[in-house]
């Protein structure tokens, strides 16, 4: 059984906006969501990178305590975007609760802020190190907290998948959700990812010399995908969710179709857990195209992972050029909002749908001078009005994980 899988709901909370209109306005007007990092008594003075992709929209914490009590900030994010995506999809509650719909949702490592509060109690001494740890703290912090809370909040009773593969987390959520519907295991899947404001992630990348440090006084100038002056990634927070639905089911109920997932591939480099690998990336892109049943000449837009690191961007550009040449536009959306880790794949998917809807490719923010090593692909340096029928979303993660999603715009 192979079925078509369409997108009938989408929502994102990002450093450049938390509504479709605000996000699109930021993209059109080149507004960055990167700000100076907030004060942090634990790590603040040790971090060399002083920038962060920061969500500035005030979140409404309007869920009943019955639901809230098991949520850390990351699950608030997840449930907020899930709520809006479900509202847009307009699926009946009876269907959502029927077991025919599942959840694929993840984050990099659950809720680091809750984990920090637990470990503070462990390390601060005293006779009873368990005192003060709440009954719900594990549920708030666990690695699958987003998926579990989303399922509970909306009474979704089908399969539950919670990828935690760092930067490919939500691309995998969409990919595994797509496969669940395509092959008939579910009729719909709520898919996405979230990551909260977290300086420990900055510390991890900072320690590996992978963070941007040269633009601490001008945060909006970094990250700089594919640019000669790029100096590393910028950690960000955010969340995104999409509702995937079997095409005939969506059509029968008259749902508005935002796009279609044509294919998905996930591969591993089988080598270094950190170094980017052009061969592994190429293999994954080719597998994605095969899954979608299309050739590279049919792809109009590639949303690259493009974190703004020296080696990562060059490797991705070379691998992408080897498959596509200079035919499709290749954009690095992290120039606008930084790297929102577990949520970047779904946010970049939603932004790609917007570009398809508006027949517009926005430029890669902060790309001023193309690094010669990244020159084998076609970069949008200004707004381009053009029809985009098919888009690819590429994401790569520590652990040697590569993903590629193939999307089609609405008819």
Partner 1 sequence: MLEKKEIEKAILRILNDQFEISNPGMDDDLREKHKFDSIDGIELLAEVEELLGFEINQEVKKEALEIRTVRQIVDWVEKVQSEHS
**Nearer residue to partner 1 within complex by CB, 46 or 129:** 129
Give min distance, CB of 131 to partner 1, in A: 8
Q: Could you tell me which residues are beta bridge partners of residue 36?
A: 51
Distance CA 271, CA 275 (A): 9
**Nearer residue to partner 1 within complex by CB, 134 or 293:** 134
**Residues of the shown chain interacting with partner 1 in the complex, contacts defined by CB under 8 A:** 64-66, 69-70, 128, 131-132, 134-136, 139
C-alpha distance from residue 358 to each of 7, 132, 347 (Å): 16, 51, 17
Total count of residues recorded for the chain: 411
> Which residues have CB under 8 Å from 323's CB, separation 6+?
282, 285, 286, 289, 296
Instruction: Tell me which of 164, 167, 191, 351 is the catalytic residue.
Output: 167
Q: Using CB atoms within 10 A of its CB, is residue 30 exposed (0-12), middle (13-18) or buried (19+)?
A: middle
Q: Using CB atoms within 10 A of its CB, is residue 342 exposed (0-12), middle (13-18) or buried (19+)?
A: buried
Give min distance, CB of 70 to partner 1, in A: 7
**Nearer residue to partner 1 within complex by CB, 66 or 124:** 66
Known catalytic residue at 339: yes
Q: Are 314 and 404 in contact (CB under 8 A)?
A: no
**Nearer residue to partner 1 within complex by CB, 45 or 66:** 66
Give min distance, CB of 65 to partner 1, in A: 4
Known catalytic residue at 305: yes
Distance CA 224, CA 270 (A): 29
Give min distance, CB of 198 to partner 1, in A: 24
Distance CA 100, CA 372 (A): 50
Q: Are 336 and 220 in contact (CB under 8 A)?
A: no
Give min distance, CB of 62 to partner 1, in A: 13
Instruction: Tell me which of 144, 249, 339, 379 is the catalytic residue.
Output: 339
Q: Closest Cα partner for 393 from 338, 314, 328?
A: 328
Give min distance, CB of 162 to partner 1, in A: 20
Known catalytic residue at 358: no
**Nearer residue to partner 1 within complex by CB, 48 or 121:** 121
**Nearer residue to partner 1 within complex by CB, 70 or 394:** 70
Range list of H helices, 325-381 = 334-337, 344-358
Instruction: Tell me which of 305, 344, 374, 404 is the catalytic residue.
Output: 305
Distance CA 280, CA 282 (A): 6
Distance CA 191, CA 375 (A): 34
Which residue has tokens 């510390």? 203
Residues acting as catalytic residues: 167, 305, 339
């Amino acid at each position: 059984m192979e079925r078509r899988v369409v997108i009938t709901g989408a929502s994102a909370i990002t450093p450049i906006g938390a509504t479709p209109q605000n996000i699109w306005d930021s993209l059109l007007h080149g507004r960055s969501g990167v700000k100076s990092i907030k004060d942090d008594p634990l790590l603040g003075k040790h971090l060399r990178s002083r920038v962060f992709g920061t969500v500035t929209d005030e979140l409404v914490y309007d869920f009943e305590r019955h639901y809230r009590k098991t949520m850390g900030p990351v699950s608030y994010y997840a449930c907020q975007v899930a709520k809006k995506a479900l509202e847009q999809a307009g699926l009946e509650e009876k269907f959502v609760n029927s077991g025919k719909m599942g959840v694929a949702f993840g984050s990099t490592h659950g809720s680091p802020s809750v984990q920090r509060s637990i470990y503070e109690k462990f390390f601060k001494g005293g006779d009873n190190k368990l005192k003060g740890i709440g009954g719900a703290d594990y549920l708030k912090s666990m690695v699958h907290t987003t998926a579990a809370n989303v399922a509970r909040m909306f009474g979704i009773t089908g399969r539950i998948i919670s990828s935690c593969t760092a930067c490919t987390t939500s691309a995998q959520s969409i990919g595994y959700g797509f496969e669940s519907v395509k092959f008939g295991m579910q009729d719909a899947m709520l898919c996405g990812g979230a990551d909260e404001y977290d300086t420990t992630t900055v510390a991890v990348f900072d320690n590996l010399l992978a963070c941007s440090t040269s633009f601490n006084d001008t945060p909006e100038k970094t990250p700089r995908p594919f640019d000669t002056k790029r100096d590393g990634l910028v950690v960000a927070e955010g969340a995104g969710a999409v509702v995937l639905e079997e095409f005939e089911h969506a059509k029968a109920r008259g749902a508005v179709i935002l796009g279609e997932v044509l294919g998905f591939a996930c591969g591993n480099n089988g080598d270094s857990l950190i170094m980017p690998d052009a061969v592994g990336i190429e293999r994954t892109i080719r597998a994605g195209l095969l899954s979608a049943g299309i050739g590279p000449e049919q792809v109009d837009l590639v949303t690259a992972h493009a974190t703004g690191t020296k080696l990562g961007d060059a490797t991705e550009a070379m691998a992408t050029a080897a498959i596509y040449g200079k035919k499709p536009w290749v954009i690095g959306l992290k120039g606008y909002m930084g790297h929102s880790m577990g949520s970047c794949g779904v946010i970049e998917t939603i932004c790609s749908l917007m570009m398809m809807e508006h027949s517009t490719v926005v430029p890669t923010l902060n790309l001023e001078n193309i690094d010669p090593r990244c020159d084998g692909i076609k970069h949008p340096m200004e707004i381009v009005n053009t029809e985009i029928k098919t888009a690819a979303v590429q994401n790569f993660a520590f652990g040697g994980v590569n993903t590629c999603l193939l999307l089609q715009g609405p008819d």
